Structure 1
Amino acid sequence: MTSQMMQVLVLATLVAVALAHPAIRPPYHPHPPSYAPVDPPKYDFNYAVRDNFGNDFGHQESRDGYNTQGSYYAQLPDGRLQKVDYTVQGDSGFVAQVGYQGQAQYPTYHPAPAPSYSPAPHYG
């Protein structure tokens, strides 16, 4: 190693040691985490879908602070309407009541007729 390279290496080492000294840079003390929201959440929303293809579903929810209530519904393939009403109050968790309207309809199964095959034409 040349003397210039040695001088640069020694200088870089001294700078690194000086920057690492606690008198130059104060120690890091992170702020304690805050998990509480600044403002309690408050909102209302709803939507509904009904189209010509048989889709019929929707959802409604409102929240004020830690109390939430809502419901959603969906038209099931068997013809019934399923509706779920739910609440969440503080740490109580998700409390749901599920209900159905209508009777399940299962159409009679009619298998398709077996395909008939005929031989391919033969040209002489």
Structure 2
Amino acid sequence: MFQFIIIAALVAVAFARPDQPPAYGYASPYTCSAPAKYDFNYAVKDEYSGNDFGHQEARDGYDTQGSYYVQLPDGRLQKVTYTVNGDSGFVADVSYEGEAQYPAEQPAYKPAPSYA
């Protein structure tokens, strides 16, 4: 009896195997035929909140060049200029403009007494 069950299971598996690939098929992943080429930039300067930052980048194939900047809380402007060329990796030059400013220490907050 046990041999009959084993043989029946093997026959069922053999008949269940599909002879053709699935109908939905397999699509190969997208391949890009042309090298990447783009150029973009943006900038934000908000006097009210003190935000000042931006970014610029250009790419042509494996050659990428760009820069970004941000106003730091201490008043300095941090600028990063970078290049990427093939397998050379990300090469960045960081610079700062201005002098760091630290506000004078403010006295601690003391709430007014409450007479309730």
Does TM, normalized by the shorter one, top 0.5?
Answer: yes
The answer (yes or no) to whether the contact 1:66–1:88 under 8 Å persists in 2 is yes
Regions of 4+ moved over 6 Å: 33-36
Q: Does 1:55 align with 2:39?
A: no
**C-alpha separation in 1, matches of 2:29 and 2:88:** 22
* 1:81 paired residue number: 77
**Deviation of the 1:119 alpha carbon:** 3.2
Q: CA RMSD in A?
A: 3.2
**C-alpha separation in 1, matches of 2:99 and 2:61:** 39
Q: Which has the higher strand share?
A: 2
* 1:105 paired residue number: 101
Q: Does 1:90 align with 2:86?
A: yes
**C-alpha separation in 2, matches of 1:96 and 1:35:** 31
**C-alpha separation in 2, matches of 1:53 and 1:76:** 12
SS, match of residue 88 in structure 2: coil
Q: How many residues align?
A: 102
Q: Normalising to structure 1: TM-score of the pair? A: 0.68
The answer (yes or no) to whether the contact 1:19–1:25 under 8 Å persists in 2 is no
* 1:17 paired residue number: 14
Q: Which amino acid aligns with 2:34?
A: D
Task: Name structure 1 gaps, 5 residues minimum.
Answer: 1-8, 27-32
Q: Does 1:40 align with 2:35?
A: yes
Q: Which amino acid aligns with 1:63?
A: R
**C-alpha separation in 1, matches of 2:95 and 2:55:** 15
Identity, % of aligned pairs? 62
Task: Name structure 2 gaps, 5 residues minimum.
Answer: 1-7, 22-27
